Structure 1
Amino acid sequence: MIQSIQILRFAAALWVALYHARNYRFFPELPPWLRAIADGGFVGVDIFFVVSGVIMALATTHTATGLRPSAQFVATRFARIYTGWWPTMLLYAAGLQALGTMPPDVHLLSSALLYPANFSLHINAVIWTLVYELYFYLLIGASLLLAKPWRDRALALWALVIAVLVLYYAATGRYRPDMFSQATPLVWFYAAPLVLEFFAGYFLYRWLQRRPQQHWWAWLLASALLCAAAVYYSVTATLYAPGIVGFFHWPERALLVGAAATALVGAALLLPAPRHAAWRLLAKLGDYAFAIYLLHLLVFQLAQHSITSMALEIPHRAFSLLLVLAALVALSALYYHAIEHPIYQACRRAIARWAAPKP
């Protein structure tokens, strides 16, 4: 189960990277069907959100009730995000300054602390997702203050409140572009439609815990059908720019893309453990998913700068793209083993010592 989820995390991270690579010179001309796959790379974020919900359900299954377990959980999960992001932020600050591409209005404080703010001012365009991650961790941490029978009920109630608010906001036109300037944090953050994807992953795991005797292929088929519905809607509906990926269509994205991602994660959870060495290698690469996600825009900018400054001709862009992606994975592996993992493990040990009962 975990190995399949790791493979899915690696694939989702590369898919997001491929989505953003479209804007760089090393990205090749692709056949329409391959271009469509690259254009759909934003779905990797939806997969990450669902997987995060699954991991939170798995991590808290046997967690005790109380203030100390709740605080330990939140501190550990926050450490997971910040220990991965803060060293990367230093790399971005140094790299963008060296390249002369640091945005003049970048907001370093919100970039560092990851609190709800104007996401367009982040030093790294993808870290808006981490702000939602931290929000969900706080919700899970709060649920650990309740007795076990009441945790899932409280979370389900919160998800229901968000769903009702999303329906109300959609019905009253709060997601229209002309209303965006009036949107409150309740609209675009605390009750954002994509937050429901975390809950979908959480309750998916709880469901499969109670009903494990299901066919993985049925979930995969459901994912394919939902994906087809999302594509059909994206192509045929009249949508505000930039389409279903944008905030103005997050309700539809959560419903269609989020449901497809949930079904895909369900299939991964039900798959038997991979036995072949190649699959086990891919599962190992899942360890680098967070680093790939955080580093890919910086790596792409460095690659673009190298091509431009050296006036390189790119006769085979497909090969160049593969080379850049391979470099991204290699650098992410180095970052994980040298920086991310050691720092996080040290923080986990420190938090565990702090949370341990005192004699």
Structure 2
Amino acid sequence: MLHPIQALRLFSALWVVLYHAAHSPTVAPGNGLWHNFTGLGYLGVDIFFVISGYIMALNSQQRSPSLRQSLSFLGLRLARIYSGWWPVFLLCCTLLGSAALQGKDLLGSFFLYQLNFNILVLPVTWTLTFELYFYAVIALSLLLPQHLRTPTFWLLALGLLITNSWWVMHERFNIENIGQSHYGMHLFFSPLCLEFLLGYQLQRLQPQLQRILPTLALLACTALCAAAVYGYAAYFAHKPSGLAGFFHYPERALLGGSLAGSLLLLFLRLGRYLPRRLSLWGGDISYLVYLLHLPCIWLLPRWLPSDNPMHLPALIAGTISLASLMHYTLERPIYRKCKRRFDTAYNLQHFKAL
């Protein structure tokens, strides 16, 4: 029963949309609780990472250890990422024009290995580099016997915790030490990788958690995690970009990852209350909603005056409509064609991959 996860994916994507909309000069930021909620919208990314770990654990658990299975898994995940991204990449290049593309890393943007959002064609795609890295790690794990995969990921999580604890103790995430940071800190050993591993282990532990964790306790845990995130972001995250930025990645992974994990378990627990078809549709388009919302923000001033109160509704409606159109006409047909090719080439059963 995966439709609760799909509903959470759409919620996460829309939360990111609201975050960037609130920071856009054309959309009114709002106030009070709404301002506080949209101000934490970057945590939609953390939810995406935990969901990705959960889904990858689900999709890989029945695969036997072999190079064929590893290559098939990796190929399908690459097709899933690029079938949505490359059409959006072409759209972004068209909208920006040659002048705005000067100084952008076109190759790094196209193949998604660039993390510096200042030189990305679409800044939010730095998160897809993390996705691709984790897919590669999962693909490598498929070379191991099934009973060794979960312990291996526990050891990997322990290694990341030790490494990042050492970096925190030696103030490597402080602003004055930014010159000592490297690609490993930003990606390979980043604290945010722990969020993928959390999602992976939650899938493995779900039957036990279902038995020992009552729904009310899960609700209380989610509320406490939300309060902790808000309190830290509001009163303690003073470095540039706040809790959203690199300098607070350790705290973000701890607090945002805990909130994301709690929300994932909560949505799974309350799935019977969510409309199945609507949830599945929302999950299907959520990836393109995430990719397309910034281009829609760029286009919005061309259609509506800057003081128009309909900016936010128009942004959400336009993003969802464009995402739905591109999903059904481009992304899904391309991905399904790639999937058939891989199934034929590797003579595999049809694994259901989200």
TM-score (norm. length: structure 2): 0.93
1:107 maps to 105
Shifted more, 12-21 versus 182-191: the winner is: 182-191
**How much does 1:299 deviate?**
0.9
Confirm or deny: 8 A CA contact 2:47 2:260 kept in the other structure: yes
Taking the aligned partners of 1:238 and 1:151, their CA distance within structure 2 comes to 36
Confirm or deny: 8 A CA contact 1:16 1:42 kept in the other structure: yes
Taking the aligned partners of 1:236 and 1:45, their CA distance within structure 2 comes to 21
> Does residue 1:314 correspond to 2:307, yes or no?
yes
Confirm or deny: 8 A CA contact 1:53 1:200 kept in the other structure: yes
What whole-Å deviation, never above 9, does each CA across 1:29-70 have from its counterpart, x for those lacking one?
523210111111001000000000110111112111111001
CA RMSD across the alignment: 1.7
2:341 maps to 350
Confirm or deny: 8 A CA contact 2:4 2:274 kept in the other structure: no
Confirm or deny: 8 A CA contact 1:216 1:268 kept in the other structure: no
> Does residue 1:53 correspond to 2:53, yes or no?
yes
Structure 2 counterpart SS, 1:173:
coil
2:82 maps to 82
2:232 maps to 233
Confirm or deny: 8 A CA contact 1:3 1:273 kept in the other structure: no
> Does residue 1:94 correspond to 2:94, yes or no?
yes
What whole-Å deviation, never above 9, does each CA across 1:181-215 have from its counterpart, x for those lacking one?
22122211111001100000010111013443343
* Aligned sequence identity (%): 35
Structure 1's unaligned 5+ residue stretches are: none
1:41 maps to 41
Confirm or deny: 8 A CA contact 1:19 1:41 kept in the other structure: yes
**How much does 1:332 deviate?**
0.5
Shifted more, 175-184 versus 284-293: the winner is: 175-184
Q: Cα 1:335–1:236, aligned 2, differ >3 Å: closer, same or farther?
A: same
| Count of residues in correspondence between the two structures | 347
What whole-Å deviation, never above 9, does each CA across 1:128-160 have from its counterpart, x for those lacking one?
000000110111111110001101111111121
Taking the aligned partners of 1:275 and 1:129, their CA distance within structure 2 comes to 28
Taking the aligned partners of 2:285 and 2:159, their CA distance within structure 1 comes to 35
Confirm or deny: 8 A CA contact 1:53 1:202 kept in the other structure: yes
Taking the aligned partners of 2:135 and 2:278, their CA distance within structure 1 comes to 29
Specify the code of the residue in structure 2 equivalent to 1:328.
Answer: T
2:352 maps to none
What whole-Å deviation, never above 9, does each CA across 1:67-125 have from its counterpart, x for those lacking one?
1001100111111101111111001101111xx77242100000011125534211001
1:247 maps to 246
Q: Note the 1:1-359 alignment, pairs <5 A.
A: 1-97=1-97, 102-213=100-211, 214-237=213-236, 239-274=238-273, 276=275, 280-307=277-304, 312=305, 314-315=307-308, 317=309, 319-356=310-347
TM-score (norm. length: structure 1): 0.92
Q: Cα 1:165–1:116, aligned 2, differ >3 Å: closer, same or farther?
A: farther
Specify the code of the residue in structure 2 equivalent to 1:347.
Answer: C
Structure 2's unaligned 5+ residue stretches are: 349-354
**How much does 1:355 deviate?**
1.0
**How much does 1:164 deviate?**
0.8
